[in-house]
Amino acid sequence: MTARDLRPPAGSEAQLFTRPFISLSAAVLAFFVSGAVFLPVVPRFTIGPLGGDEFAVGLVLGAFAVASLLMRPFAGRFADRRGRRIVLIAGALITVAASFGHLFAGTIPMLIVMRLLLGVGEALFFVAALAAATDLAPDHRRGEAISLISLSLYLGLAFGPVIGEAMLAWSGFGAAWMASGVIALAAVVLSWLAPETLPPSARATASSAQQLLHRRGLEPGLLLLCGVWGMGPFFAFLPLLADERSLGGAGTFFAVFAIVVVVLRIFGAKLPDRIGAAKLSGTALVVSAAGMAIAGLTPTFVGLLAATVVFGVGVAFTFPAIMAMAVVGVPPDERGAVVGTAGLFVDAAFGLSPAVLGLLALSAGYPSTFLVSAVVAGIGAAWLLIRRPGRLRMAGA
């Protein structure tokens, strides 16, 4: 079977769940389980053994996103020119090195270096994975494909934090770093076994006139930034808030969040293609804002659990709807660039929100960071409502 043969026939209703698509999903699952192991552990490691404060937590977690932000445009162009598979493998290998490198991170600057490497690995891997998913999907099922491939990411969020907290309780921080590295090795193997989805004849050439940032990804990217801004404080400060208020750890909240997203993306995978990306993403942004508002106003176990569910509903549809809108009508040799451009705004949100809101947390407490995030999501919803009759609607809304 050639790479060209991996592309499903137009109009096919049954050719999305192919062996290559399932193989790709397995690699993405292993990769994001590995990454999610860090979520409940790194903030505690920064505050505890390394002696940092909330601002240091923001810097450490934000470093990951900054590196990913800077790398995504290059990752997209690389995937368009060299193919998806080699970029997947490179991202997974870098993640293995960075995961085991945490064993030697005895200072906050060294931890930041490891987080930077993780960000580079994530940018390479996820851009290539999304581009490969759009390669494999029929034109009219791309939104569904993006929803389903991203399920692996959120399944990773369901299992990874539980593994991280279990390893931490069992044998300390080193056990968590080792667990992440071993799982990342599995992602390398699965990526190696995954087929190439972009044939040489469809690849961009080095002489092609291509800008580093693709204009089709800019406005969707800004909307993504608004939609995922709240995930920064959710992952950075919820473990610390749970410890502060003796809520029994953050693993439960992360698992519930992931389960909500996974269930909705399974049963609502076709919604971006059926009801329109702009309508769906606008609603999702409003729901995300509501979830963050609940978290900020009622920071109890019950309140945070309710906020997690509501926020998960919003996040479930924001990313696939907006990303599907971004790639409508984009040729194969430019999809990686569009995905990379839109995706860098996700990293901008993850990089900026923990660092900026970390300062707010120092003076006003963790709940205030959720309230600010609610406002940001609301701005995105308002912008989409204003722009909907125009260019966004023409781009697949």
Distance of CA 205 to the CA centre of its chain: 28
Q: Using alpha carbons only, what angle is made at residue 214 by residues 155 and 229, rounded to the nearest 5 degrees?
A: 45
pLDDT of residue 277: 64
pLDDT digits (tens, 9 = 90+) for 221-234: 888 888 889 988 89
pLDDT tens digit string along 358-388? 888 888 889 999 999 999 999 988 887 776 5
Q: What is the pLDDT of residues 250-276, one digit of tens each?
A: 778 888 888 888 888 788 767 766 776
Annotate 238-287 with DSSP letters as a single string: HHHHHHHTT-S-SHHHHHHHHHHHHHHHHHTTTHHHHH-HHHHHHHHHHH
pLDDT at 1 over 50: no
Lowest-pLDDT range, 120-124, 187-191, 236-240? 236-240
Enter the pTM of the model: 0.68
pLDDT of residue 183: 96
pLDDT attached to residue 331: 76
- Judge whether 14 lies within some domain: no
Please report whether residue 104 resides in a domain: yes
107 domain residue, yes or no: yes
Q: In the prediction, which pLDDT does 396 show?
A: 36
pLDDT of residue 202: 66
> Is residue 100 included in any domain, yes or no?
yes
Reading the block at residue 1, the tokens are 């079977």
Average of per-residue pLDDT values in the chain: 82
Q: What's the pLDDT score for residue 397?
A: 34
Range of the domain at 65: 19-200+213-394
Structure tokens at 59: 């810097």
Give how many domains the chain has, as a whole number.
1
Tell whether 8 is covered by a domain: no
Residue 96 has pLDDT above 90, yes or no: yes
- For residue 186, the tally of other CB atoms under 10 A from its CB is 18
Say if residues 151 and 265 touch (Cβ distance below 8 Å).
yes
Give the span between the Cα atoms of 274 and 268, in whole angstroms: 10
Q: Is the pLDDT confidence value at 118 over 60? A: yes
Cα dist from 265 to 96, 102, 154, 270, whole Å: 28, 33, 10, 9
- CATH code assigned at 356: 1.20.1250.20
Q: Which two tokens stand for residue 33?
A: 């389980």
Please report which confidence band the pLDDT of residue 395 belongs to, taking 50, 70 and 90 as the band edges: very low
Tokens encoding 93: 């290998």
**8 Å CB contact between 266 and 151:** yes
What pLDDT, on the 0 to 100 scale, is given for residue 71? 86
How sure is the predictor about 205, in pLDDT bands with cuts at 50, 70 and 90? low
The pLDDT of 14-30, averaged and rounded, is 80
Helices (H), the chain: 19-36, 42-47, 54-82, 84-101, 108-136, 142-149, 151-171, 173-193, 218-228, 231-244, 251-267, 271-275, 277-297, 301-326, 332-364, 366-387, 391-394
Residue 151 lies in a domain: yes
Which of 167-171, 219-223, 337-341 has the weakest average pLDDT? Answer: 337-341
Residue 334 resides in a domain: yes
Q: Of 140-144, 206-210, 292-296, 324-328, which range is least confident?
A: 206-210
Percent of the chain clearing pLDDT 70 (strictly above): 85
Q: Residue 177 region, left (φ>0) first, then alpha (ψ -120 to 50), else beta?
A: alpha
Q: 12 lies in a domain? A: no
What is the percentage of the chain residues whose pLDDT exceeds 90?
A: 31
